Structure 1
Amino acid sequence: FHENLFLEHYAIRFIPRENGVHWVHVRFNGRDIPDSPFRVVVGHANADPGRVFASGSGLYQGETGHPCEFLIDTMNAGAGALAVTVDGPSKVQLDCKEVSEGYRVSFTPTAPGDYLITIKFAGINIAGSPFKCMVGGMNLNASRGGFGTMTTSSSYVQRSQGNLASQSTYNTIEQSSSFASNSRNNYASIDASRVRAQGDGLSRAYRNEKATFTVDTRDGGNAMLMVGVFGPKYPCEEVFIKHVGNNQYNVQYTVREKGEYMLVVKWGDQHIPGSPWHIEVV
């Protein structure tokens, strides 16, 4: 709120709701005054993953058809990007809501089994991540058969810093991949260094046009392919991964805004050679 002090002098007061860099715009007759916007640092300006904590029963156990819920405390962590991924037997919809302590996240599994919950802040795992959530109950995907299928769902929360964004944004990107395997949980043989990616979509992209590339995982062992595209303001709106056979994948993504983007490709929890790529979108 503002208060008229005397002779056209005003006092402005506001209460920030989260740590990080805030930008205060002061305008007169619709135009910014000199030096506006003003940079205000609340709390710690730099991201500190060591100050992020997760709690809640949903990190460790759950039941099919019922939400698994947990809390991520980011109050003292500064400004950075919070990324939550859930890997497991069923594709899930991640729901991320801002609360006074940070963020409340929930997902509802539809198949029993072990789910891995990875929580990263500024690209670094927080304490305890990844968490193993053991889900019981009936398989609600009775119509699905075949070999073992693992899927991954991701929620990315971009917290404001500098001039990248004027406010916090919440975007959910769902990505899924499947593989045929007699040993679904055989992670010991993963070797991301032997996975190869090629295509124009790794070096350049055009606004509102599909960019494509291929990923060959034949020599990389048994794992899950994860792809993420991050822009100067928001994550990419569309990322499609299609298994075309023989452990090879076609990837398509579409960006809506110009700028410099980062393309991440992981096999399991490991970057493949070349990842992350930096792409200029024109």
Structure 2
Amino acid sequence: SMCNPSACRAVGRGLQPKGVRVKETADFKVYTKGAGSGELKVTVKGPKGEERVKQKDLGDGVYGFEYYPMVPGTYIVTITWGGQNIGRSPFEVKVGTECGNQKVRAWGPGLEGGVVGKSADFVVEAIGDDVGTLGFSVEGPSQAKIECDDKGDGSCDVRYWQQEAGEYAVHVLCNSEDIRLSPFMADIRDAPQDFHPDRVKARGPGLEKTGVAVNKPAEFTVDAKHGGKAPLRVQVQDNEGCPVEALVKDNGNGTYSCSYVPRKPVKHTAMVSWGGVSIPNSPFRVNVGAG
């Protein structure tokens, strides 16, 4: 079969022009399906010469790569198929210095993916006072509309909308510097048939502002009877950034019984998503009492 390097594509954080830092895994994937026969070759050259690159066959013509930069500077990632550069190769990656003790973190479904035409949501939280100026940018196949809703408690809800499927780099900046793990790589997909995250409801004592006590199960129910078919995801974190395990039981009738056990008497945030899209009123902020 013909060798067709233009049918190969490479995506991932380790190929982004900026955001990657030293002592962080820089990873990416190469898709070779439909590119005919050829040999895939990846080299990463940094300020100190050639870097060690780990390769993994993920099946179905997809290969995973990672490198681990130890010195800041410019890294050149060259990806060839049958001896020819694939699209956008060579990639120039500016690796930054180690992340200081940054007091900002971001999490939520919109940093991993989303659906065309629906908002992709995440939370940004500041730990302590005097955090600095936050900034956001989304780079990828189409321009994003971004909205930020400051909650006045050191956190803000961020939403962006995409009109085209593809991979997007979501940058969360503090004083114009990418925070740790930024950019986050989000896979935006076309909407499946009969998909209605806006019709999914969550309610129960575990999502109320008050009344939840430490070391006791905080319970709530998700009603997705009118949501179409999609996976449910529940993420909970306390205000120190520690994830709290959430148990989700499928009741088989379109409803789900959910619970988590808070271990500290501090604010907890729960994000509930359906098919990667936040449901109405998510994120839920819960003030956990000492009981």
Sort the TM-score into its range (normalised by shorter chain): 0.3 to 0.5
